Amino acid sequence: MLLTIPVVLHLSTLSAYYLSSVKATDNLSIPDAWQKTSNMSRDTRGELVYDAAATLAQNVNPLSGTTTEFKSDIQELAGFFAVLALQDYYSADNTSWHTEGVDTLKLYIQNNGLYGPGLTESHVYADVIYWGLVAFYSYRSYREGTLLDLAKEAYNVTYQGFITPDIATQGSGATRNVSFAPSTPGCGKGRSSAGGVFSYAGIPNDTEISIWSTGPFMTLSAYLFEETNDTHYQQAAQLSVDFLTTFMWNGSVVADKFYPTTCNTSFKPLVLNQAWFIEGLSVWANVTKNDTLVSFLGDVIANVTTFPGWTSSPGGVLNPANLDSDAMYQDNPGLLVRSLTEVYMRTPGTELSRYIEAYLTVQFNALSHRQLLGPNASFYSQTWVNPGASSFDVRGSIAAVDALNAGYALAPTTSRHRPTNKSAKIRTVIGAVIGGVCAAIIALLAALVFRRHRQLKHTSAEGDTNSTENVNPFLSHPTYRQTTKSSEERALEMLPTSQSMSQHASIGDERALATQALGADDEMAELPTLVRRLNNLLSRGRQPMEPPPSYEQ
């Protein structure tokens, strides 16, 4: 059912609410105690974040079981796919984690469904909408249409628990079998619960509304409207923004739960609650170009990033208190970093973006100095005050990749390099060596052909001294393909990529050329030892991680 609430009216009402109810802090000054700068190059950051992501991928296999501490929690599974897809998005590289971000993600959901395994009573809308966001992240990185369809499917399932204006007025519906109309005098102060999303899909008599269902729903609605321009998503996103700012923002942070019959809130200071709120607000403020909403977003960020409940003093490092592994929705500092990175990328050159850059750099610096050496160098604990870990911690690893992703996104783009897998780098080096030596072979072949040509010419001249015809060894037209491209464009085309089909093709052509030349002329036996060794290398192919050949003295 499409909503019919005029969006312009909602924006003006929202603006009036902000101006009357929210005290703007205008306090985006960066604390002196923050370690807010980093001299680490973009390339080094790329190596660091790739190593962390590779360690995560090596220790987690969603399709066939995982490490003993990985319990297949939806938050963890969704986070695994999200951080890998986002790494490719920030680096503009759609190859490093394409398999995980497309094939593995689709196969997992195909096998387990959006709710995952478990009893119906345990189904929560947050699980479904998490998958929707992950599918959208992957779609944004890899532009696979089936991923966008998957995000829409998750949205539609969650929409069953969404409170429309009509449902809010009636106080019934949205899969609930009990009334949730306000029963307390003055409850809501004239504002309805429209825009909220119930927490539990499998418990129809539970009327709890939570930030961890409504926040991600608001965020995905905003993303889908931005991508599709479908007004259905537009209206849903606006209603959720209205609901959260009306009932769940207390002027400092976002509450955890809301009960529509009494208008009471359950306040539990969790970082992840703020993350969903900020990410959704940032997308929606950017889409609507609403200055008041942008100002409010800055107010929210200034409060959340200095809230003492999860901020170490005086350095500003995120340090949530609730990292209990048995909690249903344990805290996750990486989600806040992820949301702030989205804000940063949507507000370039502003005071807000400079503030966020400083804050994200603080978190990056906490993780960028390897705490351990050797094989455990890319292990991270759940606390960023002492981030090193002697064994793999899946939650710590996922959160760390979020923070390191942000650090890479902040780096100046003066370098052409992107974080990529190490095998691609090895292929690039080997390709360069082989290409160079093959050029030497071609030069030698050309010299041999030219020498024979001169001998034939000399013989012909001796056999017919009266001939006036001259042999011209040069062609009358260029043998190369002429192009109008600039030298810079040609140089960019020559930059190696992690999966270059042309590289594989050229190596195959070079092998064929070398083989034909060797069979055509016995004079190839006179080639030096280096060329013979190269021929052996080309004929048997490259082996992964093979050391270079030794050379004769």
In the predicted model, is pLDDT for residue 296 greater than 90? yes
Please count the CA atoms within 13 angstroms of the CA of 4 that sit on its side-chain side.
2
Sheet containing 209-210: give its strands across.
209-210, 257-259, 264-266
Backbone angles phi, psi at 470, to 5 degrees: -100, 140
Among residues 380, 122, 133, the alpha carbon closest in space to that of 275 is found at 133
What percentage of the chain carries pLDDT values higher than 70?
65
User: Which token pair is 503?
Assistant: 């590289």
Least confident of 241-250, 368-377, 465-474: 465-474
Cα gap 76→388, rounded to integer Å: 20
In the predicted model, is pLDDT for residue 164 greater than 90? yes
C-beta of residue 201 within 8 angstroms of C-beta of residue 125: yes
For residue 72, what pLDDT is reported?
Answer: 56
Cα gap 199→304, rounded to integer Å: 24
What percentage of the chain carries pLDDT values higher than 90?
51
C-beta of residue 174 within 8 angstroms of C-beta of residue 123: no
- Hunting for tokens 């700012």 — which residue is that? 245
User: SS in 3 state form for 227-245?
Assistant: HHCCHHHHHHHHHHHHHHH
Q: Residue 520 — very low, low, confident or very high, per pLDDT cuts 50/70/90?
A: very low
* Residue 210, H or E segment: strand 209-210
In the predicted model, is pLDDT for residue 222 greater than 90? yes
Cα gap 499→489, rounded to integer Å: 20
For residue 90, what pLDDT is reported?
Answer: 94
Cα gap 245→447, rounded to integer Å: 78
Q: How far is CA 375 from CA 16, 84, 247, 309, in A?
A: 56, 21, 48, 34
C-beta of residue 138 within 8 angstroms of C-beta of residue 147: yes
In the predicted model, is pLDDT for residue 454 greater than 90? no
In the predicted model, is pLDDT for residue 99 greater than 50? yes
Least confident of 142-146, 239-243, 434-438: 434-438
For residue 253, what pLDDT is reported?
Answer: 94
When comparing pLDDT for 395 and 190, which is higher? 395
Highest mean pLDDT among 117-126, 210-219, 542-551: 210-219
Q: Residue 436 — very low, low, confident or very high, per pLDDT cuts 50/70/90?
A: low
What is the pLDDT averaged over residues 93-99? 87
Q: Residue 135 — very low, low, confident or very high, per pLDDT cuts 50/70/90?
A: very high
In the predicted model, is pLDDT for residue 385 greater than 70? yes
* Residue 76, H or E segment: helix 74-90
User: Which one is the CATH code of 7-410: 3.20.19.10, 3.90.180.10, 1.20.1630.10, 1.50.10.20?
Assistant: 1.50.10.20
For residue 314, what pLDDT is reported?
Answer: 84
Sequence spans of domains, the chain: 7-410, 426-453+503-553
Cα gap 163→1, rounded to integer Å: 12
For residue 298, what pLDDT is reported?
Answer: 97
Among residues 26, 142, 72, the alpha carbon closest in space to that of 394 is found at 72
Residues 6+ apart with CB under 8 A from 300: 249, 274, 277, 278, 281
When comparing pLDDT for 227 and 26, which is higher? 227
The sign one gets for the Cα dihedral 286, 25, 403, 420 is positive
Cα gap 358→34, rounded to integer Å: 8
When comparing pLDDT for 472 and 180, which is higher? 180
Query: Across-strand partners of 254?
Result: 249
- Hunting for tokens 């999303």 — which residue is that? 197
Q: Residue 412 — very low, low, confident or very high, per pLDDT cuts 50/70/90?
A: confident
Q: How far is CA 518 from CA 234, 398, 452, 552, in A?
A: 68, 54, 16, 22
In the predicted model, is pLDDT for residue 539 greater than 50? no
Q: Residue 191 — very low, low, confident or very high, per pLDDT cuts 50/70/90?
A: confident
Q: Residue 347 — very low, low, confident or very high, per pLDDT cuts 50/70/90?
A: very high
For residue 184, what pLDDT is reported?
Answer: 81
What is the pLDDT averaged over residues 110-120? 80
For residue 468, what pLDDT is reported?
Answer: 40
pLDDT tens track for 45-89: 999 999 999 999 999 888 875 444 455 578 888 999 999 999 999
Amino acid at 437: V
In the predicted model, is pLDDT for residue 178 greater than 70? yes
User: Which token pair is 223?
Assistant: 């993303």
In the predicted model, is pLDDT for residue 31 greater than 50? yes
In the predicted model, is pLDDT for residue 389 greater than 50? yes
In the predicted model, is pLDDT for residue 463 greater than 80? no
Q: Are strands 209-210 and 264-266 parallel, antiparallel or unpaired?
A: unpaired
Q: How far is CA 512 from CA 441, 516, 533, 538, in A?
A: 13, 6, 16, 10
In the predicted model, is pLDDT for residue 168 greater than 50? yes
For residue 185, what pLDDT is reported?
Answer: 76
For residue 501, what pLDDT is reported?
Answer: 39
Report the mean per-residue pLDDT for the chain: 76
DSSP count for the chain of H helices, then E strands:
19, 3
Amino acid at 530: L
When comparing pLDDT for 197 and 552, which is higher? 197
Peptide bond into 182 cis (omega under 30): no
Q: Residue 300 — very low, low, confident or very high, per pLDDT cuts 50/70/90?
A: very high
For residue 515, what pLDDT is reported?
Answer: 42
What is the pLDDT averaged over residues 348-368? 95
Q: Residue 473 — very low, low, confident or very high, per pLDDT cuts 50/70/90?
A: very low
Q: How far is CA 402 from CA 80, 215, 236, 299, 414, in A?
A: 10, 19, 28, 23, 22
